[in-house]
Amino acid sequence: MNSLQRLYREYAEAFRHFSPNARRFLAGSFLIGVGQNQISLLFSLYLKRLSYTEAAIGAMLATKALGSTLVALPVSLLAARLNPQKLLPTAAVMTALAYAAQAIAEAHGMIAAAVFFAGAITTVFQVIAGPFFMRNSGERERMHLFSLNGALGMGTGLVGSLLGGALKDGLFALGLPEILAYRVAILVGAVFILVSAVPFAGITGLPPSRAGREARRERGGIFAGIDALLWFKLILPGFLVGLGAGLTIPYLNLYFKNVFGLGDTAIGAAVAAGQIATFLGMAAGPGIAARLGKPRAVFWTQILSVPLILVLAWVRAFPLALAAYLARQMLMNMSTPIQDNFALELVPQERQSLINALKMLAWTGSWTVAARISGELIYAGGFKISFMLTAALYFLSTLLYRLFFIRSAHK
């Protein structure tokens, strides 16, 4: 309890130093997170109720990842040219409409188009977040801002999942047909996203980066003049982590069901506990980074998570597997905002949106490819092979990160 109290006081102190723009961005992110997680919980179940097969549902969900992957780089260029005060609320409205269309549309092609569009537009918030925080924070509170934004994703996952399930079941209990109950609950999630336009519209004082436009014109293109070796070092570890995550993360629900025979309620409780662990890990990140330095914090939190993945591969005692799962969630995700902050510190401001987009593109692309092939691995050899490959990829990524940054890091 004392640790939690210290963590609360630490963030309360940091929050007082957050700029008004940063607070408005966090408020918008919270509303988007609640809406997206509510829809994420319900959409697959809704498609199943519409008689979609598991393969068709998987293909539909992959469409969202494809939309995100294809537009990450163009969005980074757009973000450098447009005022966030206009870009963010516009993206919020368009995202809300895309999610609403998923609930209203009946033809398969229209639903797929809405899913693709939602994946594409939500990329705006992911690409712009890091550079936005760099421009709207000081060194004193910046790490807490990155970590809190990441932790909000987990906190809103818990809130959105609980709210979405309760709302759908409540509407169904009141006599609405089940399909209609799903549609109304998804539309409520879209309303949360729509309301996020209000705090985003309050962001002030951030014109487009003229320095970025001039630098690109002078250097002859968006990639001209960059430090290619540095960018390779910043991107490769995330690419390997994305490959490893794609092999196992999409199938954790199935892992708990097939290996331990858990029911859906118990699986939901385990996943919710994982979200809480991730939230706490991300929140604790700034303290770890302050003591060890950012690169060493990334190295140690990731390397300690590797044995825990092997526990999941070999142990068949549920309490131990659950403990390993929760500890892995906390440690591995603790490093994400630290790594993002460190990467943006190493590139000039006019390049921050671009490096953010390329890092996201590498992670999402590798995750999507791995997720598509891991089903066959699990079918052929069970979960041991996929977990062992994940551990190997995480280990390689962590060693490379140490080789690339720790020896020369001064922060």
Euclidean distance between CA atoms 123 and 95, whole angstroms: 10
What confidence tens digit (pLDDT) does each residue in 208-229 have?
554 444 444 445 455 666 788 9
CATH class of 16-208: mainly alpha
Residue 411 has pLDDT above 50, yes or no: no
Euclidean distance between CA atoms 51 and 104, whole angstroms: 16
What confidence tens digit (pLDDT) does each residue in 374-403 have?
767 777 777 888 899 999 999 999 999 999
- Tell me the average pLDDT across 236-244: 92
Provide the pLDDT for residue 211: 42
Judge whether 16-208 and 225-411 match in fold: yes
% of the chain with per-residue pLDDT over 90: 27
Phi-psi region of 382 (alpha: psi -120 to 50; beta: other; left: phi over 0): left
Whether the Cβ atoms of residue 294 and residue 408 lie closer than 8 Å to each other: no
Q: Does residue 82 or residue 245 have the better pLDDT?
A: 245
% of the chain with per-residue pLDDT over 70: 90
- Tell me the average pLDDT across 194-202: 94
Euclidean distance between CA atoms 249 and 252, whole angstroms: 6
For 226-351, where are the alpha helices, taking DSSP H only?
A: 228-248, 252-260, 264-292, 294-314, 318-345
User: Band of the pLDDT at 408, cuts 50, 70, 90?
Assistant: low
Euclidean distance between CA atoms 334 and 347, whole angstroms: 22
Q: Which of 3-7, 246-250, 332-336 is the most confident on average?
A: 332-336
Residue 258 has pLDDT above 60, yes or no: yes
- Tell me the average pLDDT across 124-143: 81
Provide the pLDDT for residue 221: 58
- Tell me the average pLDDT across 235-253: 86
Q: Which of 158-162, 241-245, 250-254 is the most confident on average?
A: 241-245
User: Band of the pLDDT at 264, cuts 50, 70, 90?
Assistant: low
Euclidean distance between CA atoms 10 and 7, whole angstroms: 5
- Tell me the average pLDDT across 352-380: 78
For 105-209, where are the alpha helices, taking DSSP H only?
A: 108-135, 139-173, 178-195, 197-201
Provide the pLDDT for residue 215: 45
- Tell me the average pLDDT across 242-257: 81
For the whole model, what pTM was predicted?
0.74
Residue 367 has pLDDT above 70, yes or no: yes
CATH class of 225-411: mainly alpha
- The domain spans of the chain are 16-208, 225-411
Residue 98 has pLDDT above 90, yes or no: yes
Question: Tokens 């598509």, residue?
Answer: 372
Euclidean distance between CA atoms 272 and 278, whole angstroms: 10
- Tell me the average pLDDT across 283-293: 85
Provide the pLDDT for residue 302: 93
Whether the Cβ atoms of residue 69 and residue 127 lie closer than 8 Å to each other: no
Provide the pLDDT for residue 73: 74
CA of 291: how far to CAs of 105, 297, 320, 400, in Å? Answer: 52, 8, 30, 22
